[in-house]
Every structure is written in structure tokens, then in C-alpha cells.
Chain A
Amino acid sequence: MSNLALLALLLVVMALAYQLGLTRSRAVAANRDVRMHSRPGYYGVLVALWCGLPALALFVLWSLLAPQLIDALVTQQLPPELVASLSQRELDVFLRRAATLAAGGSVAGGASPEELTAAAYINRLSTLENLILVALMAVFAVAGLVYARRRISPRLRARNQVERVITFALASSSAIAICTTVGIVLSMLGEAIKFFTFISPAEFFFGTTWNPRFSSSGSSAQGEFGLLPLLWGTLMVSAIALLVAIPVGLMTAIYMAEYAPAWLRNVAKPIIEILAGIPTIVYGFFALIVIGPFLSSLGDLIGINIRTTSALTAGLVMGIMIIPFVSSLSDDIITQVPKSLRDGALGLGATKSETIRQVVLPAALPGIVGAFLLAASRAIGETMIVVLAAGNNPVLHANPFEAVSTITVTIVNQLTGDMDFASPQSLVAFALGLTLFVITLCLNVIALVVVRKYRQQYE
């Protein structure tokens, strides 16, 4: 029986158990003419949980263990001299080929007699294994059902028990967020450490040349993996982006919060929100076909050589992308400044702009700085715009009209299409990813703490 069908069947049985528990609790209540502790539904759910959860746990455990058990049994069944002649790796390959044969597929180079025997054995085993699983799950489900159903009595605190299960489920789903972070850190650390066995960390972090030769080029040298050109490119593009986004975004926020009539706010706010949702690949394409050529011809006009794909193109479009981000964050923060501060300043005779510049902005400064930091972290981690529009030229130079490369672009270049995690050329992506993660993490945490402090100040 396929796993999906098995789980569906389990669900059906659980529904049945719910009904059984429900009727049973009603019967108990009617027969003895007593007040039950919980409402009938809770008894139903409790029975269903008792019926389903142990069987489900068994299923999960079984799915994890059974393949290894089968492998072990098949290995035992093989002629000992064959096993002795194979290395662990070859044995794994052998087992995988046999499993493919057992599933009805064909293997490269034709099947050997031993493989065919093993495949037949695997087939028998997996039929048996499936039968045992179904039988065991049935036993668990029925046992749980009967046990829980017999426990139904007026004194059984069914609601509390069900609620405990629910709370546990809620708590474990909030643990997933933690697991994600741990997963990110562990996976990247693991692969990055592998990378550092090829290249020393000093060479990576302080190297000024980026030239990872792919092994296909025939040279045995590993190439040079200097982070600095990439980091420099990232910072240059991000700085240009912030130079565009911060003035425009901040002024937009100020105008929206302080000057704009209600109707303008009502129209402009949703538009800005929608803008924030435009995929970055769209901005990247826009940079490539509109902004790049435009800047390039503008450069020709005033006699500067601007490349179509350059730090300027990418930075400018990235700036456009973060304008809504900066403005909506700043808007939230500016509107949180208490009205009394404004009234005080206005009462002393300050004009509106003086109030904003000398009272509101200084009061909101920590929060606004936090917003800028979040924007910076976003600019540093942005990928598609720079992939399309920055030109991919990992060289240290200070000319924004030239092509650059960034950390994110290089991650994409080093890892796309190639899933071989053994060469430094692809492992370097994880070292870069770790660097990126640490940089953005620092920015984010500082920003979050600053914004939080700021919020508390006016609460």
C-alpha cells in the first residue's frame, strides 16, 4: 500500500474514532445521568488522537528505519565472497542498483545475476515490510482507540488533555523557525569548513583577487578566492542604492506623514505597498533594457564612458526597489512620534518644516536609522538585480561606471547547475553565503534592537 493511501486511511479511521468517542461519551452521560467533565467533542477528539498519533509515530519511525533494515538483510543474504570483494561505496552502489531493478527500472550496463537475485529478495522483503507496517499500524490504531474509548468517564479530563496536545503542537511549530536558523547556520558552516580545508581563511577574507578556475579548464591550480573584490562591489552597489533610496524614501515618508491630505495617503499607501511586492527579477530586467542603455547614452552625451551593465545601473535600480521599503518603515516611525512634541514646537511659533527638521526627525532618529540599516541589509542581500545589471566583473576598482560583481552574484555563478559539493569552486558559495548571512545578521540585529528601543521609548 502506498504511503499516501496509508495516511489517508489513517485519517478515515481517525474520523471514525472521533465518532465512536462522541457516541460513547454521550452514552456514558445518558446512562449514568451525570455531568461529564468535558463536552462530547473533546472525548471524540481524544479518542481520535489516541487512535491516530501512536500509529503515526510508528509510521514515521518505520519509514526512517525500514530502508536500512532492508539493506542490512539484503547484504546478509548476499554471497559472503561478493560482499568481501566490494568496498562500502561499491556495496552502496550495488544496493542502489538492486533497488532500482526491484522498482521495475533498468540499470546502466545491464543487471548481473547477483543483482537480479538481490532485487527479487528486495521485492519480497518490501512486500513483507509493507504488510507488517500496515498490520502494526492497524494494531496500534485499534489498541489506542479501544483504550481511549474505555477510559471515557465523567471524571476524565478530556478537554485538558486535548488542549495539552494542541499547545504542544503550537509550540513545536514555533520551534521550526529556530530550526531554520540552526539549519542555515549548520549547513553553511559545514560546507564552509570543507571549503576552508582547500583555501585558508586568511586567503579568502583578505585576498584581493577573485579568479576561481573551474576544474574543466585543465589546470591543476585551484584558482584564487579573494573576498575583497566581491565585498567591495557589494558595498559600492548598496551605497549607490541607499544614496537613491534614502533621500527619496525619507522625503516621501515625511510628506505622507505630515503634509499629505487623507485622500492622497489612501491612494498612495496601497500603491507603495504593491510596489514593494514587485519581484526583483522584474527590476533586474528593467535595469537591463531601460536604465542601462539610458545611462550609457547619457554618458555618451556628457562624455563619460558608462557601461550598460555597471555598478551605477544596478545601484540605481536597486535604489528604486528599496524606496517603498524605506518610505513605509520611516512613515510608521514618524507617525509614532507623539503629537505633543509637534504641538509644543508649533506653539512656540516654528513652521511645519522647522518642527519636522528640528523636533520630529531628531526624536525619530533612532528608529529611522534602524530603518536605514534594514534597507542596507536588504540591498546587500539583493540578488537578481545585480545578477542582471551589475556586469559580473570581480575586480577591485572605484569607478561606479564600470561593471562590478557582488557576493550574491558570485554565489549564483558558482552554484547554478553544478551540484557537486566537493570542489572549492562550488563550496566557496557557502563560505560567501556565510559571510553574507553574518553581515546581514549584524545589520538586522542592530536595527531590530534600535527600533525596539525606540518603540518602547514612546509607548
Chain B
Amino acid sequence: MSMTIEQRRQHRLSTIEKSLARRHSKEKRFRFMGLAAIVTGMTLVAILFASILMRGVPAFWQATFTLEVYMDPEVIQLDARPVRQSGESQADFETRLQSWQTQVGLVNWQSLLDSALEHALGEEVESRQLRDLRALIASNERFALRDRFLADPNLLGQRVETKLLADANVDVWLKGNIDRNLPDARQQLSPQTRAWADRLYAEGVIQNAFSTSLFLNSDSRSSAASAGLAGAFMGSLFMMLIVILLSVPLGVASAIYLEEFAPKNRITDLIEININNLAAVPSIVFGLLGASIFIGYLGLPISAPLVGGLVLTLMTLPTIIIATRASLRSIPPSVRQAALGIGASRVQTVFHHVLPLALPGILTGSILGVAQALGETAPLLLIGMNAFVANVPGTPLDQSTALPVQIYLWQGNELRNFFEARTSAAIIVLLALMLSLNALAIWLRKKFETRW
């Protein structure tokens, strides 16, 4: 039985329509999947930032006492700081200075804090409760008090309003970062200390105030509340200076050679593959290189920013070389031909004409490379930069940590309730530094971008 032509036409049309509908819905699904992928990625990133900001931002504000400390002359029995007299030998002066420093060390600064707290509480604290009382204030704060007095000895006998950081556990307690219903045995603070903390907080003696300790102090073991990033920051700064001083000139120079001068042969081919491969070598391998050559063979000091800087330099070089080459390649050959045509030598062509035009791209690539080095952790662990360092390093040869390594150290701290927020705050600082470097690079590229 045969269909009429009209029927066949109808049949074909309906088939096409059906398949078209199917294909269009497939198209829609595909498109939706693409959008979903982007949304997924962005959501994950939003969650990452949100969770870190939520945990980290409160850590910039710490529970802080505002106490009137009486600089009791009976407690602070101290001569004036010795000044070197004319005719006095260096050794004699140092002996006098030393005995004075011993005197400073013997002053019971803690008792000043104790009586200031008693005053604020408005009650006599028995000596068996002294432990509970001292658990309120971060233990390093007595040294802050000492330094304040030494800077201005005229305070003797005065009542001085002083801001003092509360102990880390008090901070955790007041912020509710520990479950308040936990039994006493599992609380970090004694019931008496908790009661005092709550009372003082209600009375406004303890306030949640913005604290600079995160920025100005270096790491501390004994007094978690005053542990800061200053030491790690200086370590990172030294390393970045070394990276900038070494990897940018070397990287740019080798990129110029490979792109503009090198003959195209097997050797330069090999160098090219080698550099591309180096850029993809895991960073930890560079750490092994540093441990074995810089520390094991050359005998450079462990934990020093110098070694870290050298390792990061080697790691950053390929990135900078690749970025510089791309930037040089984007300069049209006509620029070179014009310069060569009017008699410039090849070196002149490159340095007078090509390089200035490629400079924005080189700068962008270098900044991105340095930012990458700033965030690198793994190789630094292998050259001993994960040691605890309480001082701010003064030279690239001193022991030091780096910002990302400090984050690594803090996240593993036993005082979890306190350091989870502190670590997040440190991450915020690191991310702020890196993102501003990245943003600078992107801005530079946008500003100087030339379409040839």
C-alpha cells in the first residue's frame, strides 16, 4: 500500500520536527551543562572565600582588657638606665648595663597585672586563686607592660590606662568558639576564670577590640593570643626580594636569548622543552634540590630566607622565561625589520625597540611569577623553614619562616579553637597580598595592552 506524496511529505516533516525538537532540547541540555559547570566552579570558590572570611575576619578582633595599672613604686624598684660616662671603659659599662638588666628581670611585672585585675574585679583574690586570675591575661602582656614602662620611666607611681590582650582561651570562651555546655573537665579554663571573664565582659572591662598583634608580633609559643605574622612576613619579604633580584633579570635575559638570538637547532629545542618541563615539575622537587645542594653540599644555613629565596628563584625562572618569551613573540616582526633596516645591530634592535614594547607583558609575567613564589609552601618545608622562630629575622641568613609556612604551622597547633580563626586570618592576609599582586598584574596588562 503506497502513501500519497502529500502523506509522505507530512510523514517526513513530522520526523524532522520530532528530531529537531530532540536535537534542540539536547542543545539546551548541553548549554545548561556548560553554565552549570561555570556556576559550580564559581560556587565552590565562593564557598572557599566565604568560609575563610567567616572564620578569619573575627580573629582580627580580640578580647582586650582595658585596665588601670598602678605602676607601684614598691614593685618597680629600678635605677635609671645606665648611660655610658666619659672615661668609663666599654667593659665596665656593659657590666653596669647587665646588672641593670638583671634588676629589670627581677621586677615582678605580673603582680602589677594581678593587682590591676583585682582592682577591676573589686575583690581580694586569694592566693590559691591566683592561677585562675592569671589565666585571664595573655602571658606575654607582662613584657608589653615592662616595655611600656621602660620606654617612659616617668609613669612610676601613676595609674596608667592600659590595653592588654586577653588569654587565647578567654578569647575563645567569650566568642563562643567552644561549647559553653561542656563539662568542666573538658573546658580549657577553670569555672572561676570563666565566671570572671563573663563578669568583666559584661562590665565592659573586656571588649572585643581590633588587635594589631597579628601584624606586629612574631610567632609565640607561650602566649598564643599575641602570636603574630611579623616574623613570617619579614621572611617572605626577604625571599621575595631575592626572587625579584635574581629570577627577573636571569629569566628575562634567557628569554631574550632564546627568542631573539639563539639559532634554531637541536640544542635550543632541547632548552625549550627543558624549560617547559621545568615549569611543570612539582614544586616539592625544587625543595629536594635545595635540601641536597644548597644545604647538604654548599652548607648554607637551614631555615634561612636566603636558601628559600634561591629555591623559589629556580622554581619561578621557567614561569618568567615563558611569560617573557610570549611577550617578545607578540611584538610584530615589522618592528625588528624596521630597526634592522635602518642599520641597527641585533642587540640594539632588541634593547632599544623590542624590549621596551614587550615590557608590560614581561612585568605582568614577572609579578605573576613572584606571586606564585609567595604562596609556595612545600619546598620551604624541606629546607627547614617550618622551624618555630620567635624573632623577626634581621638578615636573609637568620632563621625564619614564611607566610604560607606559618599558616601550615598554625593549622596544626593544638589550641585548635583559637588557631582555626587565627589561621584563617593569616590566610586572609596572604590572600590579600597575593590577590593585590595579581590584580596589579592584570591591571598593568589591561592598561598597556596593545593589539598589533
Contact = CB atoms under 8 A, between A and B. Distances in A.
B24 interface: yes
A272 B45 CA distance: 10
Nearest to A415: B382
Interface stretch (B27-35, B72-80, B100-108): B27-35
B435 A274 contact: yes
B345 interface: yes
A223 B34 CA distance: 51
Interface stretch (B109-117, B203-211, B280-288): B280-288
A353 B31 contact: yes
Contacts, number: 266
A235 B296 CA distance: 31
Contacts of A271: 42, 45
Contact of A183 (B293, B376, B420, B438): B293
Interface string A63-107: 000000000000000000000000000000000000000000000
Contacts of A421: 292, 296
Interface stretch (B4-12, B179-187, B403-411): B403-411
Contact of B258 (A174, A255, A419): A174
Contacts of A288: 411
Contacts of B278: 177, 180-181
Contacts of A343: none
B317 A170 contact: no
Nearest to B412: A388
Interface residues of A, number: 91
A20 to B, nearest CB: 23
Given A171-B257, A274-B435, A177 B407 contact: no
A145 B419 CA distance: 62
B427 A282 contact: yes
Given A255-B38, A281-B408, A417-B387, A437 B442 contact: no
Contacts of A279: 374-377, 404, 430-431, 434
Given A173-B254, A353-B26, A273 B442 contact: yes
Interface in B381-397: 381-382, 384, 386-387
A281 B280 contact: no
B256 interface: yes
A176 B289 CA distance: 14
A174 B376 contact: no
A392 interface: no
Contacts of B125: none
Contact of A411 (B45, B47, B382, B411): B382
A430 B258 CA distance: 32
A456 B345 CA distance: 31
Interface in A138-195: 159-160, 163, 166-167, 169-171, 173-178, 180-181, 183-184, 187-188, 190-191
B282 A173 contact: no
B291 interface: yes
Contacts of B30: 353, 356-357
A381 B44 contact: no
Interface string B261-284: 110000000010111111011111
B435 A280 contact: no
Contact of A353 (B27, B45, B376): B27
B178 interface: no
Given A440-B280, A444-B280, A254 B34 contact: yes
Range for the number of chain B residues in contact with chain A: 35 or more
B423 interface: yes
A251 B257 contact: no
Given A381-B281, A430-B288, A159 B375 contact: no
B284 A408 contact: yes
A167 B281 CA distance: 28
B406 to A, nearest CB: 10
A437 B276 contact: no
B372 interface: yes
B282 A281 contact: no
B288 A383 contact: no
Interface in B287-323: 288-289, 291-293, 295-297, 302, 314, 317-318, 321
A320 B41 CA distance: 7
A180 B140 CA distance: 45
A453 interface: no
Contacts of B372: 277
Secondary structure class of chain B's binding surface, majority of residues: helix
B23 interface: yes
A433 B431 contact: no
A411 B378 CA distance: 10
B65 to A, nearest CB: 29
A430 B292 contact: yes
A13 interface: no
Contacts of A341: none
Nearest to A421: B296
Interface in A295-332: 320, 323-324, 327
A259 interface: yes
Interface in A408-456: 408, 411-412, 415-417, 419, 421, 429-430, 433, 436-437, 440-441, 444-445, 448
A354 interface: yes
Interface stretch (B48-56, B90-98, B129-137, B145-153): B48-56
B37 A248 contact: yes
A383 B287 CA distance: 11
Nearest to A290: B51
Contacts of B368: 277
A178 B262 CA distance: 15
Nearest to A258: B34
B292 A416 contact: no
Given A277-B438, A412-B382, A436-B284, 11 more contacts: A167-B347, A188-B292, A191-B292, A248-B41, A270-B442, A277-B368, A320-B45, A384-B408, A430-B292, A437-B285, A440-B281
Interface of A: 159-160, 163, 166-167, 169-171, 173-178, 180-181, 183-184, 187-188, 190-191, 247-252, 254-256, 258-259, 268, 270-275, 277-286, 288-290, 320, 323-324, 327, 351-354, 356-357, 374, 377-378, 380-384, 387-388, 408, 411-412, 415-417, 419, 421, 429-430, 433, 436-437, 440-441, 444-445, 448
Interface of B: 23-24, 26-27, 30-31, 33-38, 40-42, 44-45, 47-48, 51-52, 55, 249-250, 253-258, 261-262, 271, 273-278, 280-286, 288-289, 291-293, 295-297, 302, 314, 317-318, 321, 345-347, 368, 371-372, 374-378, 381-382, 384, 386-387, 404, 407-408, 411, 420, 423-424, 427, 430-431, 434-435, 438-439, 442
5 nearest A-B residue pairs (beta carbon): A381-B282, A279-B375, A255-B34, A174-B254, A251-B37
